[in-house]
Chain A
Amino acid sequence: MGKKVATCAVLVALAMIFSYIEAILPIPFGVPGVKLGLANLVVVTGFYILRPGEVFLVSAVRILLSSLLFGNALSLLYSLAGGILSFFVMLGLKHVKGFSVAGVSLAGGVAHNIGQIAVAAWVVKNTAVLYYLPALTAAGVAAGLLMGILASRVLAVLRR
């Protein structure tokens, strides 16, 4: 029990450092919502070393804390929508045979961006926001794949 709590806490701390790095890194794209999703690396890795409930907790606590520290009420809403949708997509796909860590992460990245844009359309009460869907999908594929490859490298080391 104690060890589990400590592991989760360490992962939340790590994810928050990643969030911080993301917050201070300038993003070279003019599309809102496009980012590397470094913190997702922790969540993807978590899926393979923790129980789903614990991963959810790590992800939710991370989003809550990093939005409070580096974001605002609206960014919390976007992150939560993206985080929750990508959590369930990744949880489902993890059990599907033939899905590698990178594949799960990729789907998670895309799901995150779709969740975010859906909330954005709802917030501004305008579907014109969906104009960014293609760009955000492509960005989700790229970022998700990158984080997935990194996660599988991390897992290979962890399992040794």
Chain B
Amino acid sequence: MLAAGLLLAAFLLFLVMRLRGQGDGEQVRVTVDGKTYGTYSLFEERKLCIRQESGTNVIRISGGTVWVEEADCPDGYCVRQGKIHRKNGTIVCLPHKLVIEVTGGGDGGQELQPDAVVH
């Protein structure tokens, strides 16, 4: 029962995420330690070398996909997560506090931003 319920919950969550992330993304946002490092077009060939005290990640944007080509983090998960291109697709390198996200870009990305924030 519990197994079925949890699996169902996981599947529904997955489905919701998939639907939200339908279609290919347009931009790549790279975040380091919670701060935006840069936003790049998914359709421009690019090689990013992000050097930090904790180590280096080499990110490659090519052919409408983005992936981590090389990294010296201890677990190597960021490289193994492979290529992403779907909207909301994410690659994480936990040891280097690096997050790569594919966003809708253009209008889609702007819509998510609030017009104003009142404190």
State the A residues within 8 Å of B (CB).
Answer: 30-32, 72, 74, 78, 99, 103, 106-107, 110, 120, 123-126, 128-129, 131-135, 137-138, 140-141, 145
Interface hub of A72, A103, A124 (most chain B Cβ within 10 A): A124
Min CB–CB distance A120 → chain B (angstroms): 6
Is the beta-carbon distance between B13 and A128 smaller than 8 angstroms? no
The answer to whether B13 touches A133, judged by C-beta atoms less than 8 angstroms apart, is yes
Measured between beta carbons, the chain B residues less than 8 angstroms from A145 are 3
Interface membership of B74, Cβ < 8 A: yes
Question: Apart from A31-B81, A103-B2, A131-B90, what 12 extra A-B contacts exist at CB < 8 Å?
Answer: A30-B80, A31-B77, A124-B33, A125-B97, A128-B31, A128-B90, A128-B101, A134-B17, A137-B9, A137-B13, A140-B6, A145-B3
Chain B 65-93, CB within 8 Å of chain A: the 1/0 string? 00000000011010011100000111010
Contact A32 B75 (CB under 8 A): yes
Contact B99 A106 (CB under 8 A): no
A48, B15: Cα distance in complex, Å: 37
Interface of A is mostly: helix
State whether A124 and B88 are in contact (beta carbons under 8 Å apart), knowing that A110-B6, A129-B99 are contacts in the complex: no
Cα distance A31–B93 in the bound complex, in angstroms: 11
CB atoms of A134 and B97 under 8 A apart: no
B34 contacts partner chain A, Cβ-Cβ < 8 Å:
yes
Give B contacts to A, CB under 8 Å: 2-3, 6-7, 9-11, 13-14, 17, 31, 33-34, 74-75, 77, 80-82, 88-90, 92, 94-95, 97-99, 101
A128 near B2: Cβ-Cβ < 8 Å: no
Q: Which chain A residue has the least Cβ–Cβ distance from B9?
A: A137
* Smallest CB gap from B2: residue in A: A103
Q: Can you list 18 A-B pairs with a CB-CB distance of less than 8 A?
A: A30-B82, A31-B81, A74-B94, A99-B2, A107-B2, A124-B31, A124-B94, A124-B98, A125-B34, A129-B92, A129-B99, A131-B17, A133-B13, A134-B10, A134-B11, A134-B17, A137-B9, A138-B11
Q: Taking A134-B10, A134-B13 as contacts, is the C-beta distance between A32 and B94 under 8 angstroms? A: yes
A134, closest chain B residue (CB): B14
Give every chain B residue within 8 A of A31 (Cβ-Cβ): 77, 81
B105 to chain A, nearest CB (A): 16
Contact A137 B94 (CB under 8 A): no
Give, as a whole number of angstroms, the nearest-CB distance from B70 to chain A: 16
